[in-house]
Structures are given as C-alpha cells and as structure tokens.
Structure 1
Amino acid sequence: MDKFMEHIEKHDDNQTEQQRLKGQHEVILHAMGGRAVYAPIDLPKPGLRILDSGGANRRWVKDLRASLPVQHAYVCTDVVPSLFPTHPPDGMSFQAQDIREPWPANMHGTFDLVHQRFVMAAAAPTPQIQVAASLASLL
C-alpha cells in the first residue's frame, strides 16, 4: 500500500477522500454523457456478476445499480478496507484486494463485467499488462 493510502487508512476520517472520489465520479459520468458503461453487455439481463475494482466508495456501482431495472450481484474491491461501508447494501459485497496481487482463484471466470478506472497508475512497479491480464481472468 502506498503512503497516501496508508494515511487514508490510519489517519483520515475518510470524508476528504470520499468527497474527492465523489467529485471525480461526477466529472467522469458527465464526460461519458451520463452513461456508466459503454461495454457491449446486456445489462438488463438479470443476475449478472459485476466487479468494481478500486471502487470502495461505490459511487459507480450506486449509479449503475440505480439505472438498471434488474438485480445483479455487485462486488467492490479496494486496497483500503476502511472505505467499505459498515453495513453493505443488499446484493453488494466488499473485499480487500490489491491489484498488484493475484486475485483469489475462486473469483476467476465468475464476472460478467469488470470495471476499473484510475487505478492502473497505482500498479507500479507491477507491469500494467500483468494487472490487465489478471483483471481479464476474472471474466
């Protein structure tokens, strides 16, 4: 875990980080024309498993979930577990995961959609191609 994330984990009440992440999300959503996903996936199909890697503030998942008329299973991972909610919403689970580390074998091939943004820069010194391949193995 890098120094900034260690600070968030140990010393911050997470309000500053939550506000930063919320603002970042709003800018990206606006830039994408209000759409959370452009991937070729049938999101109205019920029962999908969706991963938000690096998404502990769950802004992306909240907006996606609110835009869909069906139920899906959502998994949010982050390197800073203190960002996780005390009581996860129904249909949503959270787990600590560093993108530089291997994903648990029981997660491989279990997701219909894997989302991540602005996290790859934190992968160093692990090669980004290795991180991307690891994420792709989850699909």
Structure 2
Amino acid sequence: MSTEVDPQYLLKESNREVERLQKQHAWFQRCLNNQIVFAPVDLNKDGLKVLDVGCADGILLRDLQKQVTPSSRLVGVDIMNSFMPPSPQVNITYQVYDVCEPPSRELSESFDFTHVRYVLPGCAKVGHQKAVDNLAATLAPGGWLQVQEMDLDYNRSEVGQATNDANRVFSGLFDQIGLGARFPSKLDKAFEAAGLVNVSIQNVEFPMGKRLGDDKAAQDSWEPFALTIPSVVETAKSLGADIPDSVYDNLAERFEKEVKEQGSLWRSFIIIGQKPE
C-alpha cells in the first residue's frame, strides 16, 4: 500500500469515518439481504476482476470475496491512505486513487465490475460527469459500472421532519460545493455520455431504526448518522450553505430520537451501465 499523505477530506471530522462506514455497510447488507452487485455480473467467473472505489478499510470487498471464486482479483482504492489496511489480504489489494483523475495504466480497461458508493460528492472540483468518465475508463470491454448515491429529496411525507432536515443539510452542502443536490438523479445520463450502454437507474429504500425491529440492526442504521450529521452541519456552516438555522438546530439529537421512536427510510439511487464489448 502507498505511504502517501491523506488529502483534505470533504467532511471536516474524518477520525471516525472508517467506523461510520463499517456500521453503514452492516446496515445496508441487512436491508439488501447481503446483495452487493446489482449489475448482471457473473460472480462465478474464474479470474473475475473487481474494483471498489472508495473502499475505506475494505469491508465491502471482504464481504464480496465470499460471493466470488477463489481466483477472483479484488482491488480497493481510496483517496484516504489512512483508511486502508496496511497490507494486502487474500485476493485483495489496495492502492491510493483519486477518481477526479484518469485511472492509471494498471487500473485502466481492466475490470469486469467497478463498484462505487457515496464517493461522487467528493468530486466537485471536476464535476460528476468527469468522475463517471474516469470510472468508465476502468472497465474492460463488457464490464459493468455500479454507482450508489443518496436521494436527497427533503420534502418526503413518509418520513419525519428530522429526516427531511438531514436531507436538506446534505442538499445544501452539495449545492454549495458546486455539485448540485440533484446530481444523483442525472447519473444515468452521465453514464450514457461516458459511452456506457444497458444503463438503468433504480431507487432503493433502507429502513432505519424502529422500522427494522431488530435492536442491533436498528442501532447500525442510526449510528452512522450520529457520527456524520455533526460533521456535515459543521462543514455546511463553514462553507456558508443556504440553509435556515432552524434546520441545523439540534439536528443530530432530533434525528436520533425520530429514528429510534418512529423509524425512518433512507433512499439511494443505484445506477448501472456496461462498457460495450
């Protein structure tokens, strides 16, 4: 693994980010019945090559490793060197890569499946289209790209006020950094502009808190937000995002109370597309 120094992270507080990502992944896996791959990828293919962009400590790759053949090659990349394991694991290697840049020769046109989750908000300096272009460039002919990003609609009637307020803070932050809060709903067009075919976009719901029933699963669902919301609020305020003070007020506490007492639903877009053969 590289010894490069970490760049500045989008959120001001990154010390507990790996912990947050681990809890978030456990919650997602519970809600999705351990499904990771939504694209029609043959997981039984010998020598399957998989890239996870924004891999952090590799938790998703370690789970995916259980679903693929022993001959598969799994590669995790992240902009944050400190997030990644200090050494390779069985069939899993790690390296530093910033999706704002074109992939290296080693990463170019190499992978049967490239997975990305909640990474593109960090690509405001180049825009989501350039980031998608760079991701598409990692695919071998016939390979699939899968991107998961947040649905930040903050006027939803099926959730409580604190959930809508959390979405509004994320939306305001993304607008302020120039990415635009609605960019995830446009990613199917970005995939097509990058030359991908068989593109589709779907909305996936993740129950939270009381709606999950199981105490451990409920805790895994709200704890990532307990770690994230204060940092998102601090970042949005420091950047001057156009958000009323009433939205910020006690948001972390209100969100946790709402999710514990009545439950909630978090939504994501999942977009897939294939590089032509």
Q: Do both proteins adopt the same fold according to a TM-score greater than 0.5, normalized to the shorter chain?
A: yes
1:84 Cα shift? 1.8
CA contact (8 A) 1:88 1:94 kept: yes
User: Residue by residue, what CA displacement relative to the aligned partner does 1:53-83 show, whole Å, maximum 9, x if unpaired?
Assistant: 0003111101110233433111100011112
**What is the CA–CA distance in structure 2 between the aligned matches of 1:114 and 1:94, rounded to whole Å?**
14
Which runs of no fewer than 5 residues in structure 1 stay unpaired?
Answer: none
Query: TM-score, length-normalised on structure 2?
Result: 0.45
Amino acid at match of 1:52: D
- Residue number in structure 2 paired with 1:39: 39
1:31 Cα shift? 2.8
**What is the CA–CA distance in structure 2 between the aligned matches of 1:38 and 1:4, rounded to whole Å?**
27
Give the secondary-structure state (helix, strand or coil) at the position aligned to 1:115.
strand
Q: Alignment identity in percent?
A: 28
Find the structure with the greater CA-based Rg: 2
**What is the CA–CA distance in structure 2 between the aligned matches of 1:86 and 1:70, rounded to whole Å?**
22
Query: TM-score, length-normalised on structure 1?
Result: 0.85
Candidates 1, 8, 20, aligned match of 1:2 = 8
Higher strand content, 1 or 2: 2
- Residue number in structure 2 paired with 1:60: 60
Distance 1:87 1:6, change over 3 A: farther
Distance 1:93 1:50, change over 3 A: same
User: Residue by residue, what CA displacement relative to the aligned partner does 1:114-137 show, whole Å, maximum 9, x if unpaired?
Assistant: 001000111102110111111011
1:4 Cα shift? 5.1
Which runs of no fewer than 5 residues in structure 2 stay unpaired?
Answer: 1-6, 140-277
1:19 Cα shift? 1.5
TM superposition outliers: structure 1 runs of 4+ over 6 Å:
none
Which stretch of the first structure deviates more once superposed, 108-117 or 78-87? 78-87
- Residue number in structure 2 paired with 1:136: 136
- Residue number in structure 1 paired with 2:154: none
Instruction: Give the RMSD, CA atoms, in angstroms.
Output: 1.9
